Each structure stands twice: as C-alpha cells, then as structure tokens.
Amino acid sequence: MKAIILVGGYGTRLRPLTLSYPKPLVEFCNKAMVMHQIEALARVSVTEVILAVSYQPHVMDDFLQREQKKLGIKITVSRETEPMGTAGPIKLAQPLLDDNEPFFVLNSDVTCDYPFAEMIAAHQRHGGKATILLTKVDEPSKFGIVLYEPETMRVRAFREKPTEWVGNMANAGAYLLSPSVLDYMELRPMSIEREVFPALAADGVLYAHELSGYWADIGQPKDYLRGMSLHLQSLRLRGSAELAAGPAFIGNVLVDPSAVVGKDCRIGPDVVVGAGCIIEDGVRIKSSTLLPGSRVKSHTWISTSIIGWGCTIGSWVRIENTSVLGEDVAIKDEVCVNGGIVLPHKSVSEHILEPRIVM
C-alpha cells in the first residue's frame, strides 16, 4: 500500500519558522511534522510515501533520504511546478501509484491519533470508492461539515462553514481512496474537497469514518500549541514513557534526552523541550515549545509561545501571548515580549508590549 502526503507550498501561516525550514520539517513534539504521519503509515504496512511538494524540494530530499533508511520505507517526492490545489497533486502522482490497490491521502498540517488500520477495515467493509476521516468540532461555522447516513456511513452532502446547525462532523484531512477515484480528477489546479468529493457523494460511493481520538490542524502558531497539548495528553493516556518525570515538571512535558534543565525550574504543563536546549536555573515555562539548540537563561518566564532553533533568551525575560521567535533570535536581559513575531537572526533589546512583527 502507498500514501500521498499533501505538503503544499510556502507555509506562510507558520512564519517565521518556515522562513528557515519547509513546514513539514518543522519539529512538532520533537519530531518533524511529516514524520509523525510517515511513522503511523509505516505501522500499517504502507511501503511507500509520496510527498507532493512545491517548495524547497531539495531540502526535503536530503532529510527524507536519511529518514527512509531508519524506517525501512520508501519516500518519494512528487514536484509541482505550480500550485495544484488538493486534487491536482494526487493526479500528478498517479504514475507512482498502484493500479489495483487503495492509497492514503493526508493533509500535512493535521495531527491526530491516525486510525489508519480502522480506515482500511471500514473501506473494505463498505466497498465504496473513498473513505473520508471525520472529526467532531466545537465550532461548525469554521469548517466544512459533512452530512452522512449514520447507519451506513455513506456521505450525502457537504456544507462549507454553515451559519445554521447542520451537524458538527468535519473533514479531518485524511482519506483512503481506491484507484478509480483518479478518474474524477484532472491534471490542473483542483480541489478534492469542493470538486471531487461532492461528485463521489452524488454517485453514492463516498463513505465516512469517525475519529474517536484527538485532532488538530497545526498549520499556524495558536493551533500548533493547541495540537501540542492534545498530543502530549494522548501520550499520557497511552502511558508513554517519553513524558518527563521529576520535581521540575508539572503535567505533560516532553524533554529531549540531550537537553539540560537547571535547578529550581518549573516546566509545564504542556511543554516540549527540543534537542540540545539549555534551561538555566529558576526558569518557568508553560504551554510552549523550545525548538532544538535554544538557551534560556536564569529566572525567565515563557508562556504560550514558540522559541525557534538556536535562540538565546536572556535572564529575567518574559515571553507570552503566542509569541513566535524565528531561528537564531537573541532576546536581551529583562525584556518583555508580548505576542511578538520575531524574524530569524534578529536581536531584541526593547520591550514588545503588543502583538507585532519584528523585522
């Protein structure tokens, strides 16, 4: 079995992090975003993953060559020369797919418990052409809502961001498609959500599968942090030994073994500390991610923020309110950063007291 991951383009929603690396290679919970999906696919015996890429494919190639050897899974890059939407890249990759076997399609921005084995069983059971994963959402008006028959799980229709109640089950960005679905696609910029799925539903061959675990779109900072919290809680529920334990840690915290945490720190809940990070004495961090190689000096406070690769945070600094620091940012001692977006390789010596971009 094979799979396609729709990587897409520039990752503008996650800047400034994606100014340094393509979005799929940005670490999420101490692992490149795309590797969470690839590892889950490998667990259900997917033998080849095709990444549909239109931005920095050479950077992706170097990384994936290393990773495929570790996992024993083939990783291929399908390059778009122009943006092709969400169905065009699938049609473009058709020569790389098997003619007689269904394949997965995933949105690279999505994190969840990945019920791939259950999707395969459901696809075989209903005998349709496509299975779409659904997740329950709290605010249906922000999503495309899927209407389906609960008894058969056959999809009847779609409602894009409805203003009135029609349901609360949304497209979760993961699909299992039979090869015949490719006949519904054309080699042009095309939307699988707006063009292909409605046609499949009209023909009565599109079925739904409900996700029972967590789900998040992690394509922008606020949602990235929310997804981090949900992923850490999922590790807790599974009894994962990866979570940190000890007097310095509160709640769900993930710390790379190479990171160093000083004395009298309080880390957590919902914190990820990346490889090679150094946290000096008396630091308080909650609801935040430190990407690899960052250093946080003594008595600093960090809350609901993302600290990029190789940053240096001074002493007695306060960073909060979904601040995002790009790669190699320096924050001087006793500076407050409130909702700041700081581009890579910048030095900040004055307070940022309201959300703004520092260029």
Residues with active-site annotation: 161
Evaluate whether 63 touches 22 at the Cβ level (below 8 Å): no
The candidate with the shortest Cα–Cα distance to 78, out of 98, 103, 50, is 50
Evaluate whether 172 touches 111 at the Cβ level (below 8 Å): no
Q: Which residues contact 327 (CB under 8 A, 6 or more apart)?
A: 16, 17, 19, 20, 308, 309, 310, 311, 344, 345
CA atoms lying within 13 Å on the CB side of residue 99: 0
**What sign has the CA pseudo-torsion 21, 25, 26, 31?**
negative
Evaluate whether 24 touches 67 at the Cβ level (below 8 Å): no
CA 65 from centroid of its chain's CA atoms: 21
- Count other C-beta atoms under 10 Å from residue 43's C-beta: 12
User: What is the crossing angle of helices 33-42 and 57-71, to 10°?
Assistant: 40
Query: What residue has token string 């098997």?
Result: 98
Evaluate whether 175 touches 193 at the Cβ level (below 8 Å): no
DSSP 311-327: -EE-TT-EEESS-EE-T
3-class DSSP state for residue 47?
coil
Query: What residue has token string 């609960």?
Result: 150
